[in-house]
Every structure is written in C-alpha cells, then in structure tokens.
Amino acid sequence: MKLDEAKNKYIQTWGSLATSWGINKTMAQVHALLLVSTKPLSAEDIMDALQISRGNVNMNVRALIDWGIVRKEFVVGERKEFFVADKDIWELFKQITKERKKREIEPVLKVLEDLQKVDDDSDEAKDFKKVLGDLSKVTTTVNTILDKAIKADEHWLLSNFTKMVKK
C-alpha cells in the first residue's frame, strides 16, 4: 500500500468511527489529517485535502482548538494561520475524555442526584430510587476513573490498566 493511500484510508476510518461516537465526521477527519501531516496545514490546505468549504474548515478547526487537541502555529513569512495536531495520542485521549466528562457525565450525575429528592415513600418510589442509586454508582465510578486518568501522568493508564488486567 502506498503512503498516501494509507493516510487517506486512515482519515476515512477515523471519520466514520467518530460518527458513531457522536462526533462530527468532518471534525474527526480534519483532526486525522493534521495528525498524519508532517507539516502545519493552512485552512486552504485542509479545504483542498478534504474537499470542504472554508466555513466548514473554520468551524471544525475552532472546535478542535476548543477541545485542546489542535493548535495554531505561525510559519515565518506567511500571514495566514497554520494548524497542527499534537502527535501525542495519550494527550488526545485525555483531552477528549475531559471534554466529554464535563459536557456529558457531570450534568447527568447532577440530574440523578436531584431526582433522588422524590417526596414519596411508596414501594414504587423506593424501587425507582434504587434504580437511580445503581445508575449513580456506575456513573460515579466511571467518572472517578476518568478523573484520575485525566490528572495522571502519561503512563498511568497503560501501567495501571495493564497491571489490573493481569491480576
């Protein structure tokens, strides 16, 4: 397989995975493109490579910067902005996790907690609270793991998980 072909396939694969995880396809493709590129790319480079509009590039690149997984880079003698993706996949994992945790897990925990305040002590209410409690427990556990993973140093995930799995 040729290198360009492989890069292309990678960009497509990553894009389709992203879709099923609720991430915009183009955002994932832009990220993948930057990840496999050896040099910083301009908005036009991205437009060309992925055949998408200027506005779309702008929106998605900004989202990636928001997520902290892409940054601007300046090239000497050039006026326009260039973008690069951090090549450290661990950092990527951490940032994405952090983002989702904040946007999705924490608000749900908040709601689950609120819902415990049902002022009713029928058996049905008790059953409901039991389900909520279980749900909170699993969600909290997952949240704690993610928290720890985010705060941990680069090798925490690999070393601890490996140890744990071998057990």
Please check whether residue 85 is in contact with residue 69, taking contact to mean a CB–CB distance below 8 angstroms. yes
Q: Are 159 and 143 in contact (CB under 8 A)?
A: no
Question: From the list 80, 115, 154, 155, which residue makes contact with a copy of itself (rule: CB under 8 A)?
Answer: 115
CB of 10 to a copy of itself, least distance (A): 6
2 binds a copy of itself (CB under 8 A): yes
Which CA distances in Å does 99 have to 42, 158, 164? 25, 21, 25
Report the interface residues with a copy of itself, using CB under 8 A: 1-3, 6-7, 9-10, 13, 17, 19-22, 35-36, 38, 87-90, 93, 103-104, 108, 111-112, 114-115, 117-120, 122, 124-125, 127-128, 130-132, 134-135, 137-138, 141, 144-145, 148, 157-158, 160-162, 164-165, 167
